[in-house]
Amino acid sequence: MSPLNDLLMPKLGLTMTEGMLIEWCVAAGDQVKAGDPLFVVETDKVANEIAAEADGLIGEILVPAGETVPVGAVVAHWTGPGQQAVQEPGGSAPAESPAASVPAVPPAPATGGRIVATPLARRLAREMDLDLAGVVGTGPGGRIKAADVRHAKAPAPEAPLQERGQRVAASGLVQSMARRMTQAKQVPHFYLAAEAEIGELLDLRRRLNDQPGAPRLTLNHFVIAAVARALAALPQQNRIWSDGQIVQFDEVDVGVAVSTERGLMAPVLHGLAAATLDGIARQSDGLLERVRSGNATHADMNGGAISISNAGMFNVTYMTPIINPPQSAILGVGSVRDVFRPDAQGAPALKREMGLVLAADHRLHDGAGALKFLNYVIDLLQDPYRLLRTQTQG
């Protein structure tokens, strides 16, 4: 059948190599029109509905729902208007010939009450305290060999232990997450840890949230803004490694780890190069709503060179995160802690500090560049009024 009559697993992202076909929306023999949904593919924790590009008739479905296949694999056949369905060549399978019966090997023949066995077999039988009368010989004329004795004496295999628990088939989302985490550990990580003193930021946040009519700002919105500003100022950090090549991004996009009922997901905020704090808050709120309601788009779940994973609400001092491929970095955010530090005169002063851990891909980033990036983020968090300016002023 012509490739024009093949439905293929589409490539839905820059680094997509396979997808799970989780649902068929049509059956063999169905007439479809352009735009009708054909099947649903799950990749990167997002379900993508694949629509018909033209009118046609669905032929044979080759890939059942629930299977994972590589990009470009044929999942079904179809015929367009005016085309004749082509029967795949091939006849009925030849009938299987009946398996020849294999006669059981009789026990070793006894000649006048004498068992035929090799000398080594007899010696092994004596050492093992084994009666040769019950041993099946496989040598010529049923002669017992040493291997027959060893086989007869070998202990029966123990019955497998009963598993205490239940086996449950992993969902497509769980399988996708498992693949990505395995892939993530192939990335050569290195880590940098530091603290940011955010007392002034917390005070600014409180004052901004007291203003009526404005979106409510969270600590994470400030971190997102600082990371976005750092990416815009240091574009060499805004790139990823893909298939042996470096991809330099023009746009500033930042991923955010989100806990949902379906598991941990990492949607992406797009176009943050000149975004304000209020703009980040509004875009973030809309994105999280789509993700948690299961309505995230493919674009929502792709893009960006870095994500932020904030575990501060769980009383975690430091978080050492894993890079989310194909991104090249991730920033782990810990809890805000009250600590005493010496002031300029050496007297103890109460500070409010937040632990930060940057994980970076050593194929793209070296220690000096990553340190510069992390310190840029920290400087913005410690001088948060800079985040109120536009990017051209900052």
State whether the Cα torsion 286-291-294-299 is positive or negative: positive
**327 in Cβ contact with 240 (< 8 Å):** yes
- Domain enclosing residue 276, as ranges: 185-388
**71 in Cβ contact with 19 (< 8 Å):** yes
Residue 322 lies in a domain: yes
Report phi then psi at 129, rounded to 5.
55, 50
Domain ends where: 16, 51, 79?
79
Does 84 have pLDDT greater than 70? no
Residue 85 lies in a domain: no
Q: For residue 345, give both structure tokens.
A: 């005169």
Query: pLDDT at position 173, please?
Result: 66
278, 285, 343, 362: the active-site residue: 362
Query: pLDDT at position 205, please?
Result: 97
Q: Side chain identity at 135, as an amino acid letter?
A: V
Specify whether 30 is catalytic.
no
* pLDDT mean over 89-116: 49
Greater confidence (99 vs 249) lies with 249
Domain ends where: 37, 61, 79?
79
Half-sphere exposure for 14 (CA within 13 Å, toward CB): 19
| Residue 7, beta-bridge partner list | 76
The pLDDT-based confidence of 117 (bands split at 50, 70, 90) is confident
Does 191 have pLDDT greater than 60? yes
Which residues are within 8 A (CB) of 263 and not within 5 positions of it... i.e. 6 or more apart?
Answer: 45, 173, 174, 177
Q: How does pLDDT run across 48-73, given as a tens digit for each residue?
A: 788 888 899 999 999 998 888 898 99
Number of domains in the chain: 2
* pLDDT mean over 287-311: 92
The pLDDT-based confidence of 385 (bands split at 50, 70, 90) is very high
Residue 229 lies in a domain: yes
Residue 334 lies in a domain: yes
Greater confidence (281 vs 299) lies with 281
**311 in Cβ contact with 322 (< 8 Å):** no
Residue 262 lies in a domain: yes
Residues of the chain with pLDDT > 90, as a percent, come to 48
Same domain? For 68 and 209 the reply is no
* pLDDT mean over 281-290: 95
Comparing 34-48, 243-257, 267-281, 347-361, the range with the smallest average pLDDT is 34-48
Query: pLDDT at position 82, please?
Result: 65
Q: Scan for tokens 């904030």, then name that residue.
A: 310
Q: What is the separation, in whole angstroms, between the first and last Cα of the chain?
A: 60
d(CA 130, CA 145): 13
Residue 116 lies in a domain: no
Q: Which residues of 195-230 are buried (b: 16+ CB within 10 A; e: fewer)?
A: bbebeebeebbeebeeeeeebebbbbbbbbbbbbbb
Query: pLDDT at position 81, please?
Result: 73
Q: Side chain identity at 366, as an amino acid letter?
A: D
Indicate which CATH number applies to the domain containing 53. Answer: 2.40.50.100
Specify whether 221 is catalytic.
no
338, 366, 379, 383: the active-site residue: 366
Same domain? For 190 and 72 the reply is no
d(CA 59, CA 228): 49
Domain ends where: 20, 47, 79?
79
- The string of DSSP letters for 240-296 reads EEETTEEEE-SS--EEE-EEETTEEE--EE---TT--HHHHHHHHHHHHHHHHTT--
Averaged pLDDT of the chain: 85
- Count of Cβ atoms closer than 10 Å to residue 34 Cβ: 10
pTM score: 0.67
Same domain? For 226 and 351 the reply is yes
Going edge to edge, which strands form the sheet with 56-61?
Answer: 6-8, 74-79, 56-61, 31-32
Indicate which CATH number applies to the domain containing 309. Answer: 3.30.559.10
Residue 298 lies in a domain: yes
Does 254 have pLDDT greater than 70? yes
Residue 307 lies in a domain: yes
Same domain? For 74 and 189 the reply is no
Q: How does pLDDT run across 157-186, given as a tens digit for each residue?
A: 666 666 678 888 776 667 777 877 888 888
Q: Considering just the CA atoms, what is the radius of gyration of the chain in Å?
A: 33
How many residues are present in the chain? 394
Greater confidence (35 vs 357) lies with 357
* CA distances in angstroms from 362 to 123, 186, 241, 375, listed in the order given: 65, 11, 10, 18
The pLDDT-based confidence of 113 (bands split at 50, 70, 90) is low
Query: pLDDT at position 207, please?
Result: 96
